[in-house]
Amino acid sequence: MDTEIENQPVRPLTILSFTINGRTVQVTTDPSARLADIIREALDLTGTKISCGIGRCGACSVWLNGKLVNSCLIMAYQAEGSTITTIEGIGEEDNLDPVQQAFLEEGGFQCGYCTPGMIMAVKSLLKDTPHPSDEEIAEGLSGNLCRCTGYSGIVRAVRRAAEKEQ
Amino acid sequence: MTDPKPRAAANNKQIRPDGIPKVTGRLRYLTDGSMDGMLYGKIKRSEFPHALITSISVEKAAAMPGVRAVITHEDVPAVNGFGIVMPDQPVLCEDRVRYVGDAVAAVAAETPAEAEAALEAIEIKYEELPVLDSPEKSLSSEAPLLHPEGNVLHRNGYQKGECEKGFNQCFCIVEETYEVPRQMHTYMETEGGIIAPEEDGGISVYMGTQHGFKDRFQLSRILGIEEERIRVVSSPMGGSFGGKDELNVQPYAALLALKSGAPVKIHQTRSESMRSGIKRHPMKITMRTGTDQEGHILAHKVEITADTGAYSTLGPAILDFAVEHAAGPYIIPHVEVNGVSVFTNNGVSGEFRGFGGNQVTFALEGQIDRLAEKVKVSPIEFRKMNLRAEHDPGPLGQTIVPTMGAEHVLNAMEKKPPRLWRKKEWKQYGTGIAITMHGGGLGYGRLDPAGGRLSLTSEGTIEAAFGFEEFGQGITGVIEAVVTEAFGCSREDVTIRIGDTAKVPATGSTTASRGTSMVWHAVQRMKGEFQEKLLDKASAVAGCLKEKLSLGRGGFYCEEEQVLTFRHLANVLETDIVTTTTFDFPTTPDNMDGSHYLYTFAAVRAEVEVDIRTGQVSVAGLNQAVSAGPVIHELGYKGQIEGGGVMSIGYTLMEEASMRQGRYLTENLDTYMIPGISDVPFDLDVHPIESLSDNDPHGPRGVGEIGTVAVAPAIVKAIHEACGVWTNHLPVSPNKMLEHLTEREVQPWIPK
Ligand code: FES
Ligand code: FES
């Protein structure tokens, strides 16, 4: 037997508790597990995606205490006691958020894989800047990659959602 | 019932049927799934780009905690190979590896970490071989042979007139060599899903692909299981762009599932995906093109060398496509094209949106712009002088469907008012136009069957079933729009069934811009018969004369009143109402292997700013006119052209999966850069030209690829207009721009 592997330290698991989409949850996990994995695997909230795993694409964007973060870069222990919102906490089929509605109407998605993260970023942008200029849109969404739309439909959706805010 | 009969109006602005699940994050992609007792699979890939395998030892790995199956070449029951055309890529290598993505072993364990640890414990000994990291090296006489037949995968060419004679008559000749990079598809969802063993010894595959039935065939060949016992569920997917048409991780999950008796999930990480996934063919293209004094092109000689990497996949067809499109929409009396696709120890090149057209179009349009400058004719005028007319034959001399597309798209771009620049001191501005023609379908002599099925479901909806896949391009939106249009029914009346070999008819691949066109054809063929069948039954049930009955939202109408719902009819029916059709994608009657019959056209006008301090090129405007027949789904159409355009901005200015000595220099999206929102113009202009020639029976054409094809040459011409620099290499990086600018002493701080 490979002693190296046998002797690998088993990291002690911790119990984390936090609030996600208004629900308080407890998860038993390795403290250095990625928040993205906890959300997807332990909590089965698969709207949050992982595409690069290194903080470059924004597919895993969620709000941590109201701030937009890449959940693939957050370690479990950093979420202790926090309030998290994922796409599942934004709107539902029969009660869509205006941003989701705007994405539908303006073609803000195609394959949809970047979409949950993108919508989290757009909502976060509009919360801080209800009527963003083009530069502000670019800045607010610069951490979220989309390979399908070329961003045009996303920009139209942001503009439309911002208009509706008035 | 008194509903007035609202006939569903044009549905082409309709939101997509897959929209709500996508914007709410509720859509379960195949990589989001899990199953009871599921294991996690990991693949051990080669450490070397080229080596002999001297030993493989998996005992340690197999004994590790949580490990439930380890597989090597010994575990492949039937053909140890895959490839859409030729199965020359080993599923699991036995004695030799030919690229860093080659798989040697795979593991299934109870947790991802256990699988990872077991992978580390697999011991493979290699004896390194010389690395052939360029087609030049592979073609040299000392090169070792990568495959029994040699290092040439495929050659193709064609000839018309006598090129040398043509060049002798030329007043002006331009000869250039163009080099284009290895581009990664960068679908946001990396490859993966779950494969579950079934009680009958078969498997169910839940993994994305562009052609479920082809995966089923290939898996059957590997596993030695009849196709009937393999079910492939393959939609939805988070992007593909051609990149998931070939098998990727399916064989490993299948073998592991069969060996362990449990469902196995594999979801590649981005770096695993980069290392193993196919890419766009890097090509070196030399073109020599000459004109007479006025600017009529007389001769055009083309040499194409494609780096196809270690295995075949669709390399031959891509080279054929490049050869076919090497003279584009221009009528030239003397043409000679020679292409060769060469095996190397680089990453495998394969299918990618545009299919070889993007590479040759960049070179061809570069020639056109250089010649126009030399003979002092405007680029648009020059193109018009040489452009094909409505009834001209196709590029290989084959009969094609008459089309004015080339002229129409060029005119549309010519008419567009010029951009008004808000100029800045450190910037230079330019505009460039390029055009292209692009064949749809697989081409003459290639099996290209299509079809479809319509039925009334027991819930009272019209089910439209096709063997197509949804990877974001919008086929579901197209199906919904075509069916609601055909029957005047509403979207709620339609059930779309795709992406599951157990439930849909085989209708060919979802590639080659064929999906839209085939859905439309199929429904046109089926709608008369299906409607007749429905009306026959409805008239009996409703007790209303068939002649007075018609279909509409929710059911059947007699004059203006609804007399029967679809649901009611479904409830009382004793036999199913089903209509099916099968046919082939239309091809040219002429025996020209691989040549196309239906073409689409695009003209691109790119407007760029070049920052002469940094060499940074930014695209301020990208306008595309597309001639592809009627628009079926407006948002879908627009989205394909916009998204395709931006993907090609990436190809032109930033994307390259560089390799050195057969190893990738990029591992993730921090070094492989794709366009972010700050790299693109916000308002892309898409100008569809819907008219077709008189009596054209072929309806709408697909637009999945055309928006990517002519973008690079338009940007490169715009750069030239901005600062006088011609570039032959993509991507045009800021560094390269600075070199050019310094060379030309464009920067104002350089004293003249
Ligand atoms: S997956 Fe987290 S940023 Fe890409
Ligand atoms: S919609 Fe496919 S990546 Fe954005």
Q: For residue A57, which atom of ligand 1 is closest to its CA?
A: 4
Choice between B206 and B747, residue whose per-residue pLDDT is larger: B206
Instruction: Give the C-alpha separation, B535 to B488, whole Å.
Output: 14
Instruction: Decide if B643 and A147 are in contact by the 8 Å CB cutoff.
Output: yes
How many CB atoms within 10 Å of residue B695? 6
Q: Which residues of A touch B635 (CB under 8 A)?
A: 106-107, 153
What mean pLDDT is predicted for residues B253-269?
Answer: 98
The tokens of B628 are what? 């592809």
Instruction: Give the C-alpha separation, B19 to A112, whole Å.
Output: 8
pLDDT at A146 over 80: yes
Q: Verify that B271 and B341 share a domain, yes or no.
A: no
Of B34, B269, B646, nearest to A151 by CB-CB distance is B646
pLDDT at B746 over 90: no
Instruction: Give every CB contact of residue B272 below 8 A, 6+ residues apart in sequence.
Output: B43, B45, B190
What mean pLDDT is predicted for residues B285-297?
Answer: 98
Instruction: Say how many Å lie between the CA of residue B113 and the centre of ligand 2.
Output: 29
DSSP-derived letter for residue B288 is E
Question: Quick check: A143 and A124 in contact, CB under 8 A?
Answer: no
Q: Which residues of A touch B667 (CB under 8 A)?
A: none
Q: Verify that B621 and B658 share a domain, yes or no.
A: yes
pLDDT at A59 over 70: yes
Instruction: Give the C-alpha separation, B235 to B207, whole Å.
Output: 8
Q: For residue A53, which atom of ligand 1 is closest to its CA?
A: 1
Tell me how many domains chain B contains.
3
Instruction: Decide if A147 and B27 are in contact by the 8 Å CB cutoff.
Output: no
- Predicted local confidence at residue B262, as pLDDT: 98
Let me know if residue B134 belongs to a domain. no
- Predicted local confidence at residue B420, as pLDDT: 92
Q: Verify that B439 and B459 share a domain, yes or no.
A: no
User: What is the tens place of the pLDDT at every residue in B24-82?
Assistant: 999 999 999 999 999 999 999 999 999 999 999 999 999 999 999 999 999 999 999 99
Nearest CA to ligand 2 atom 3: A146
pTM of the full predicted structure?
Answer: 0.96
* Distance between B642 CA and the closest CA of chain A, angstroms: 6
Choice between B63 and A165, residue whose per-residue pLDDT is larger: B63
Interface residue of B677, B685, B686 to substitute, partner A, most A CBs within 10 Å: B677
User: What is the tens place of the pLDDT at every residue in B336-366?
Assistant: 999 999 999 999 999 999 999 999 999 999 9
Q: Verify that B343 and B473 share a domain, yes or no.
A: no
- Predicted local confidence at residue B7, as pLDDT: 41
Let me know if residue B685 belongs to a domain. yes
A3-89: CATH number: 3.10.20.30
Per-chain mean pLDDT for chain B:
95
Instruction: Say how many Å lie between the CA of residue B595 and the centre of ligand 2.
Output: 32
Chain A residue at shortest CA distance from B240: A111
% of chain B exceeding 70 in pLDDT: 97
> Where in the sequence is the domain holding B96, given as residue range(s)?
33-129+188-239+244-276
Is A46 within 8 Å of chain B by CB?
A: yes
Q: Give residues (CB < 6 A) around ligand 2.
A: A 109-115, 146-149; B 188, 239, 472
- Predicted local confidence at residue B692, as pLDDT: 97
Q: Verify that B371 and B314 share a domain, yes or no.
A: yes
Dihedral pair phi/psi, residue A64, rounded to 5°: -115, 115
Of B473, B669, B680, nearest to A110 by CB-CB distance is B473
- Per-residue pLDDT band for B513 (boundaries 50, 70, 90) equals confident
- Per-residue pLDDT band for B501 (boundaries 50, 70, 90) equals very high
Dihedral pair phi/psi, residue B609, rounded to 5°: -115, 135
Residue indicated by tokens 């969802």: B189
Let me know if residue B157 belongs to a domain. no
Q: Which residues of B touch A52 (CB under 8 A)?
A: 270, 668-670
The tokens of B425 are what? 């001191």
Residue indicated by tokens 């995906």: B273
Instruction: Decide if A138 and B189 are in contact by the 8 Å CB cutoff.
Output: no
Q: Verify that B497 and B534 share a domain, yes or no.
A: yes
Q: Verify that B540 and B662 share a domain, yes or no.
A: no
DSSP-derived letter for residue B82 is B
Q: CATH: 1.10.260.40, 3.50.50.60, 3.40.50.970, 1.10.150.120. Which one for A98-164?
A: 1.10.150.120
Nearest bound ligand to the CA of residue B239: 2
Instruction: Decide if B26 and A47 are in contact by the 8 Å CB cutoff.
Output: yes
Determine the angle formed by the axes of helices B634-653 and B711-723, rounding to 10 degrees.
50
Instruction: Decide if A134 and B682 are in contact by the 8 Å CB cutoff.
Output: yes
- Predicted local confidence at residue A164, as pLDDT: 81
Please choose from A35, A72, A118, A120 the residue to mutate so as to test ligand 1's pocket, defined by most ligand atoms within 8 A of CB. A72
In chain A, what are the domain boundaries? 3-89, 98-164
What mean pLDDT is predicted for residues A35-62?
Answer: 98
The tokens of A63 are what? 């709000």
Interface A-B: count of C-beta contacts within 8 A? 188
Q: Verify that B315 and B405 share a domain, yes or no.
A: yes
What mean pLDDT is predicted for residues B303-319?
Answer: 98
Instruction: Give the C-alpha separation, B193 to B178, whole Å.
Output: 39
Instruction: Decide if A109 and B23 are in contact by the 8 Å CB cutoff.
Output: yes
pLDDT at B294 over 70: yes
- Per-residue pLDDT band for B748 (boundaries 50, 70, 90) equals low
Instruction: Say how many Å lie between the CA of residue B239 and the centre of ligand 1.
Output: 16
Let me know if residue B169 belongs to a domain. no
- Predicted local confidence at residue B277, as pLDDT: 98
- Predicted local confidence at residue B606, as pLDDT: 98
Of B60, B117, B646, nearest to A150 by CB-CB distance is B646
pLDDT at A3 over 70: no
Interface residue of A110, A145, A159 to substitute, partner B, most B CBs within 10 Å: A110
Please choose from A51, A64, A113, A147 the residue to mutate so as to test ligand 1's pocket, defined by most ligand atoms within 8 A of CB. A51
Please choose from A35, A50, A86 the residue to mutate so as to test ligand 1's pocket, defined by most ligand atoms within 8 A of CB. A50
Instruction: Give the C-alpha separation, B692 to B689, whole Å.
Output: 9
Please choose from B16, B18, B188, B674 the residue to mutate so as to test ligand 2's pocket, defined by most ligand atoms within 8 A of CB. B188
Instruction: Give the C-alpha separation, B34 to B32, whole Å.
Output: 7
- Per-residue pLDDT band for B375 (boundaries 50, 70, 90) equals very high
Residue indicated by tokens 């299919």: B355
Let me know if residue B337 belongs to a domain. yes
Q: Which residues of B touch A1 (CB under 8 A)?
A: 60, 63
- Predicted local confidence at residue B8, as pLDDT: 39
Q: Looking at B538, B553, B584, which one is the last position of a domain?
A: B584
pLDDT at B583 over 90: yes
Asked if the bond preceding B236 is cis, omega within 30° of 0, the reply is yes
- Predicted local confidence at residue B749, as pLDDT: 66
Of A103, A134, A150, nearest to B23 by CB-CB distance is A103
**Collapsing DSSP states into helix, strand and coil, what is residue B470?**
coil
* Distance between A4 CA and the closest CA of chain B, angstroms: 10
Q: Verify that B570 and B478 share a domain, yes or no.
A: yes
% of chain A exceeding 90 in pLDDT: 90
Q: Which residues of A touch B636 (CB under 8 A)?
A: 107
Is A159 within 8 Å of chain B by CB?
A: no
Of B19, B669, B684, nearest to A104 by CB-CB distance is B19
Dihedral pair phi/psi, residue B159, rounded to 5°: -145, 140
Q: For residue A50, which atom of ligand 1 is closest to its CA?
A: 1
Of B635, B668, B677, nearest to A138 by CB-CB distance is B677
* Distance between A22 CA and the closest CA of chain B, angstroms: 17
Let me know if residue B163 belongs to a domain. no
User: What is the tens place of the pLDDT at every residue in B530-541?
Assistant: 999 999 999 999
Whichever domain contains B351, its CATH number is 3.30.365.10
Q: Verify that B633 and B575 share a domain, yes or no.
A: no
Q: Verify that B192 and B101 share a domain, yes or no.
A: yes
Nearest bound ligand to the CA of residue A112: 2
Beta-strand pair B283-291/B297-309: antiparallel
Instruction: Decide if B121 and A2 are in contact by the 8 Å CB cutoff.
Output: yes
pLDDT at B673 over 60: yes
The tokens of A18 are what? 């936090």
Choice between B651 and B592, residue whose per-residue pLDDT is larger: B651
The tokens of B244 are what? 């998931």
What mean pLDDT is predicted for residues A87-112?
Answer: 96
- Predicted local confidence at residue A7, as pLDDT: 43
pLDDT at B581 over 80: yes
Q: Verify that B624 and B729 share a domain, yes or no.
A: yes
DSSP-derived letter for residue B421 is P
Instruction: Give every CB contact of residue B328 below 8 A, 6+ residues apart in sequence.
Output: B360, B361, B364, B365, B395, B435, B436, B437
Instruction: Give the C-alpha separation, B501 to B510, whole Å.
Output: 14
Whichever domain contains B203, its CATH number is 3.90.1170.50
Contact residues, A window 55-84, toward B, CB-based 8 Å cutoff: 56-57, 59
Interface residue of B12, B24, B711 to substitute, partner A, most A CBs within 10 Å: B24
Instruction: Give the C-alpha separation, A17 to B91, whole Å.
Output: 44
Is A32 within 8 Å of chain B by CB?
A: no
Is A103 within 8 Å of chain B by CB?
A: yes
Let me know if residue B178 belongs to a domain. no
Q: Give residues (CB < 6 A) around ligand 1.
A: A 50-53, 55-60, 70, 72
Let me know if residue B335 belongs to a domain. yes
